A and B are shown apart, each in its own frame.
Chain A
Amino acid sequence: DAKTTQPTSMDCAEGRAANLPCNHSTISGNEYVYWYRQIHSQGPQYIIHGLKNNETNEMASLIITEDRKSSTLILPHATLRDTAVYYCIVRVGISGAGSYQLTFGKGTKLSVIP
């Protein structure tokens, strides 16, 4: 799997956009970028994933650079409930032995401040 690098922590004012960066310079052509978050005392929650095009859903937007070596997760209007650890994971998107292992690194602890 491609290694990912994320900042340890970030603060964001409530109501503002939270932009969480992730570097994955060794990503392969068949690897997707997945984002999860884990709110304290809860299970990890899938947010979004993408291959090379930008993606948007009801939770967030994912911007992937043209060379695919980095990406940014955008929470357009952060609320206090978005305070969590956010994980960027790079994985292949096809089945096969070991394909389902989600390796959660240390992630970025996002604190949304009132």
Chain B
Amino acid sequence: DAGVIQSPRHEVTEMGQEVTLRCKPISGHDYLFWYRQTMMRGLELLIYFNNNVPIDDSGMPEDRFSAKMPNASFSTLKIQPSEPRDSAVYFCASSLVQGRAGNLNEQFFGPGTRLTVL
């Protein structure tokens, strides 16, 4: 399996521009998570989906952020308009929550997208 795939790996944009980050989860996984990592705040959960349905978006910082999962193999995180404080590494992770007890939090992370907003 190729693991979780994210694109682009690096994104540099100017303030006010729209940014779209993409994620392909591991085939067969039924949960998908979007995280953001900064030096100041560490790793933060933004939103997660179960079977393509958003379950908890309480971590989304504000209305400028939106996420979709149109099918089981693709998700996007969009920032419009982007601001310099959105600069961070954004990770996508997926999980298969069944089988061995306790594997609820066995999440597989992608390589991340490093976003820089100038």
Contact = CB atoms under 8 A, between A and B. Distances in A.
Interface of A: 32, 34, 42-46, 49-51, 89, 91-95, 97-102, 104-106
Nearest to B102: A93
Contacts, number: 64
A51 B101 CA distance: 9
A59 to B, nearest CB: 12
Nearest to A47: B106
6 contacts: A32-B105, A42-B112, A43-B109, A50-B102, A100-B104, A102-B43
A44 B56 contact: no
Contacts of A44: 43, 91, 93, 107, 109
Given A100-B31, A104-B42, A46 B104 contact: no
B74 interface: no
Given A101-B45, A102-B43, A49 B110 contact: no
Contact of B104 (A42, A45, A94): A94
A105 B105 CA distance: 15
B109 A93 contact: no
Given A44-B43, A44-B91, A102-B45, A91 B109 contact: no
Contact of B48 (A92, A100, A106): A100
Given A43-B112, A100-B31, A91 B107 contact: no
Nearest to A45: B109
